[in-house]
């Protein structure tokens, strides 16, 4: 929990998640707003993480507060009955996704288009 020194509506906060660089200043003023911030990796400049931001009003005795929810922007959920392997296009990092499991996608290659490859586990299966 934090607060700003004044209430002029021009208050901004910067975000950092894990190994990311600091974000540009973000406003949390508009209740009910949803937005996204893209943070580049501090150690790998060709990777970025997408974070979803949701601002809501507090309830009960916290009515004068704002609740800021930060979530991964991309989350995979498998509704298959068997495990699958997922990886980003041209990436050697393979992630296993079990049936019914949620898998957040954190640092991905920087760029406009995001592409995933999916295959069933096994030596002879192609992506």
Per-residue pLDDT at 6 exceeds 90: no
1 pLDDT more than 90: no
- Give the pLDDT band (50/70/90) at residue 86: very high
- Please give the average per-residue pLDDT across 60-83, as a whole number: 91
Q: What is the mean pLDDT of the chain?
A: 88
23 confidence band (pLDDT: 50, 70, 90): very high
Burial group, residue 75, by CB count within 10 angstroms (0-12, 13-18, 19+) = exposed
- Three-state SS at 69: strand
Q: Rg for the chain (alpha carbons), in Å?
A: 19
pLDDT band (50, 70, 90) for residue 96:
very high
Residues belonging to the chain = 127
**From 4-18, 58-72, 90-104, the region with the lowest mean pLDDT:** 4-18
> What pLDDT, on the 0 to 100 scale, is given for residue 103?
92
């Amino acid at each position: 929990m934090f607060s700003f020194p004044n209430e002029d509506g021009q208050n901004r906060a910067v975000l950092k998640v894990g190994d990311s660089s600091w974000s540009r200043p973000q406003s949390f003023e508009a209740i009910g707003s949803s937005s996204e911030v893209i943070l580049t990796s501090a150690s790998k400049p060709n990777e970025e993480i997408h974070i979803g931001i949701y601002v809501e009003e507090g309830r009960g005795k916290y009515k004068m507060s704002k609740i800021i929810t930060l979530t991964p922007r991309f989350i995979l959920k498998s509704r298959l009955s068997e495990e699958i392997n997922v990886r980003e296009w041209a990436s050697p990092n393979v992630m296993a996704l079990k049936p019914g499991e949620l898998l957040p996608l954190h640092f991905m290659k920087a760029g406009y288009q995001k592409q995933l490859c999916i295959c069933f586990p096994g030596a002879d299966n192609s992506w």
